[in-house]
């Protein structure tokens, strides 16, 4: 069987992406609250690009880049036009443990570099597995902050912000 291909996400991929995301939500609680319109959630405002990992017609994973807000960029002392915010990164439950998350993250970071930007991300501070994943991948911790969503406990999410390693 050929290795999964990482390619740009197409509009017709969105239903399969939402289906894979639902499995992730059920197993891991990501996203914390299931969105009313998951396809819209996968296509946030200020999106710079989105990619999927696909094995023939099956969507196995997803990642996107978005333009961060000026407020977010100022908080980490970087100009917003030089940053790309990694988001919506997930791998379908039955496609895990094969390195797809690392491949998708690397692809997004390279796409940002190709546009003269540096990838940055924020992760739920309580998501120990995700925090460890980013740190193993060489992402540099910048700061703790409050995320733009409500956590499972009903309080504003606490996040850790990371900057992609240099090329």
21 touches 52 (CB < 8 A): no
Tens-level pLDDT at each residue, the chain (167 residues): 567 899 999 999 999 999 999 999 999 988 988 999 999 999 988 999 999 999 988 999 999 999 999 999 999 999 999 999 999 999 999 988 889 999 999 999 999 999 999 999 999 998 898 999 999 999 999 999 998 888 878 888 899 999 999 87
What domains can you pick out in the chain, each with its CATH number? 5-118 (3.40.630.30)
Alpha-carbon span 60 to 1, nearest angstrom: 14
84 touches 39 (CB < 8 A): no
108-141 b/e (C-beta count within 10 Å ≥ 16 → b) = bbebbeeeebbbbbbbbbebeebbebbeeeebee
Neighbours of 142 (CB within 10 A): 16
**3 state DSSP class of 138:** coil
What's the predicted TM-score (pTM) here?
0.93
Alpha-carbon span 127 to 26, nearest angstrom: 15
């Amino acid at each position: 069987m050929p290795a999964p291909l990482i390619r740009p996400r197409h509009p017709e991929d969105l239903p399969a992406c939402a289906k894979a995301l639902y499995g992730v939500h059920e197993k891991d609680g990501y996203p914390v609250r299931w969105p009313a319109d998951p396809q819209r959630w996968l296509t946030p405002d200020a999106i710079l690009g989105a990619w999927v990992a696909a094995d023939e017609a099956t969507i196995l994973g997803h990642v996107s880049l978005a333009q961060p807000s000026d407020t977010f960029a100022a908080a980490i002392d970087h100009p917003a036009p030089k940053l790309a915010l990694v988001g919506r990164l997930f791998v379908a439950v039955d496609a895990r443990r094969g390195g797809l998350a690392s491949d998708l993250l690397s692809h997004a970071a390279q796409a940002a570099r190709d546009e003269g930007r540096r990838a940055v991300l924020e992760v739920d501070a309580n998501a120990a597995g995700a925090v460890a994943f980013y740190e193993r991948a060489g992402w540099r911790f910048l700061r703790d902050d409050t995320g733009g969503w409500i956590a499972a406990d009903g309080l504003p999410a606490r996040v850790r912000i990371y900057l992609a390693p240099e090329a």
